[in-house]
Amino acid sequence: MEKDSGASYPRPLRHLSVYLSGLVQGRLWLKVLIGMLLGLVVGTLLGPSVGLVAPATGTLIGNWLAFPGQLFLATIQMIVIPLVIASVVRGLAASEDLSQLRKLGLRVTTFFVITTAMAAAIGLWVGGLMNPGEMMKGLAVTTASEPVTAAAMPSINDLPKTLIGLLPGNPLDAMVEGQMLQVVIFSIIVGVALVSMAPEKSRPMLDLLDSLQQICMTVVRWAMRLAPFAVFGLMAQLTATIGFRAMLGMASYVLTVLVGLLVLLGVYLVILKLLVGQPPLKFLKDTRDVLLLAFSTSSSAAVMPLSIRTAEDKLGVRPSISQFVIPLGATINMNGTALYQAVATIFLAQVYGIELGTGSMALVVAMAVGASIGSPATPGVGIVILAMVLQTVGVPPSGIALIMGVDRILDMCRTSINVTGDLVTCRLMENWAGKRLTDEPHRAD
């Protein structure tokens, strides 16, 4: 019995993604930008800068305004794990060839690790060059009860135990605790097992995962309706808390992160041009819709279906590659986030007057790479990871309060770069795989 073509698997997912594409055509990104600006205005009126209401009242109103945003984040986080499991397993099963899968997986993972380290290094370089923390030195005070000490790194004796810990002894526990790397490893094992089985044995599980994938995307479709209200509420709450003047003082930090992200985007386009021959402007035009949606939602997971559809229809990537690379990239390829963490670490170190030596900077790169692997592809997760990176190099994590006010804007920007990295990787893998893959290139209907 012959297996069905890999092109049959992604069809329901591609059809569901039409709705997300329609949101872009309906100017969702414009609604989000309007919501963000209105949130800044309302937050300024409620916050300490204007003082239209009492601080306690302003906090209460801000908390209620942020309710749609918290609901949006909770909804996305709720479906991330089942969506990743369904997408990774089905993507692996679509390859239909174990040797091809092994080569592709090794190349994709290596490329992700190298580019993530490169992104963190770019962040450190741009941060040191532009020196954004000098203007903010008076705004941060380290409390006496908050020691500035670097966390101890695990010794080489603990390495075998750490590696074994990556394998989920109880997959359900890993899902409950949100251990994304363990969930991905479990999904990869299941996917490889399905590839190794006879088609008639694997088909029921693939059909079940197809239904799970469609359920997840239905929930995502509901959540997308909240996006403009979510951004409005979150921005209003943050501005009301930190004050508009303090946010204006963060302009140098925001500019540094944006410059770093633009440099990283330029590196991606150069890689495409040199290794694939893809014209940069054509790539940006082909991927415009998904990048705008990534900017609007701040979630790589939310745009995963549209990313897959764009890779197949616009970039000519076959399903066996796109269905594997995109879900995996949404989990472990956080280049924009790694760059942001490096800039934020440099910035806060400058604010607190802490000198970071070469060893500390190398540690920042290593931590950014390690932390980005397995982090949830959901809005705001960069802040959680940043706290761990800061503690490791001895910068007080309380400094995060300084950058929380502008994190929403930067989260939107770095998510677009994360998705760009996934699409660039898809195009490279398609080019490198060439004629060795068994399935035919997918063509748009």
**Which H, E and C letters describe the chain, residue by residue?**
CCCCCHHHCCHHHHHHHHHHHHHHHCCHHHHHHHHHHHHHHHHHHHCCCCCCCCHHHHHHHHHHHCHHHHHHHHHHHHHHHHHHHHHHHHHHHCCCCHHHHHHHHHHHHHHHHHHHHHHHHHHHHHHHHHCHHHHHHHHCCCCCCCCCCCCCCCCHHHHHHHHHHCCCCCHHHHHHHCCHHHHHHHHHHHHHHHHHCCHHHHHHHHHHHHHHHHHHHHHHHHHHCCHHHHHHHHHHHHHHHHCHHHHHCCHHHHHHHHHHHHHHHHHHHHHHHHHCCCCHHHHHHHCHHHHHHHHHHCCCCCCHHHHHHHHHHCCCCCHHHHHHHHHHHHHHCCHHHHHHHHHHHHHHHHHHCCCCCHHHHHHHHHHHHHHHCCCCCCCCHHHHHHHHHHHHHCCCHHHHHHHHHHHHHHHHHHHHHHHHHHHHHHHHHHHHHHHHCCCCCCCCC
Lowest mean pLDDT among 4-13, 256-265, 358-367: 4-13
CATH number at residue 113: 1.10.3860.10
Amino acid identity of 260? Answer: G
Q: Is residue 270 part of a domain?
A: yes
Q: Read off the tokens for 180.
A: 């994304």
Higher pLDDT, 53 or 243: 53
* Integer angstrom CA distances of residue 65 from 35, 50, 60, 365: 12, 18, 9, 37
74-112 pLDDT per residue, tens? 777 777 778 778 877 776 676 555 666 677 777 888 888
Q: Read off the tokens for 26.
A: 């309906």
First to last CA, the chain: 27
Lowest mean pLDDT among 323-332, 370-379, 380-389, 433-442: 433-442
Q: Is residue 245 part of a domain?
A: yes
309-339 pLDDT per residue, tens? 888 888 888 887 888 888 778 777 888 888 9
Q: Is residue 299 part of a domain?
A: yes
Range of the domain at 396: 8-436
- Say if residue 147's pLDDT is above 80: no
Task: Return the pLDDT at 58.
Answer: 79
Q: Is residue 116 part of a domain?
A: yes
- Say if residue 340's pLDDT is above 70: yes
Higher pLDDT, 170 or 440: 170
Domain count, the chain: 1
Q: Is residue 444 part of a domain?
A: no
Q: Read off the tokens for 283.
A: 């790539």
| Full-model pTM | 0.65
Q: Is residue 441 part of a domain?
A: no
| CA–CA separation, 330 and 301 (whole Å) | 6
Task: Return the pLDDT at 257.
Answer: 93
| CA–CA separation, 389 and 212 (whole Å) | 35
Cα 132 from chain centroid (whole Å): 24
Handedness of CA 183, 91, 276, 298 (dihedral sign): negative
Contacts of 383 (CB under 8 A, 6+ apart): 400, 404, 407
Lowest mean pLDDT among 1-5, 73-77, 213-217, 301-305: 1-5
Q: Is residue 176 part of a domain?
A: yes
Query: Which phi and psi angles does 48 have, rounded to 5°?
Result: -70, -20
**Cβ proximity of 290 and 14 under 8 Å:** no
Higher pLDDT, 29 or 61: 61
Tell me the pLDDT of the chain averaged across its residues: 75
Amino acid identity of 397? Answer: P
Contacts of 259 (CB under 8 A, 6+ apart): 126, 130
Q: Read off the tokens for 124.
A: 């450190």
Query: Which phi and psi angles does 76 have, rounded to 5°?
Result: -65, -45
Task: Return the pLDDT at 317.
Answer: 86
Q: Is residue 224 part of a domain?
A: yes
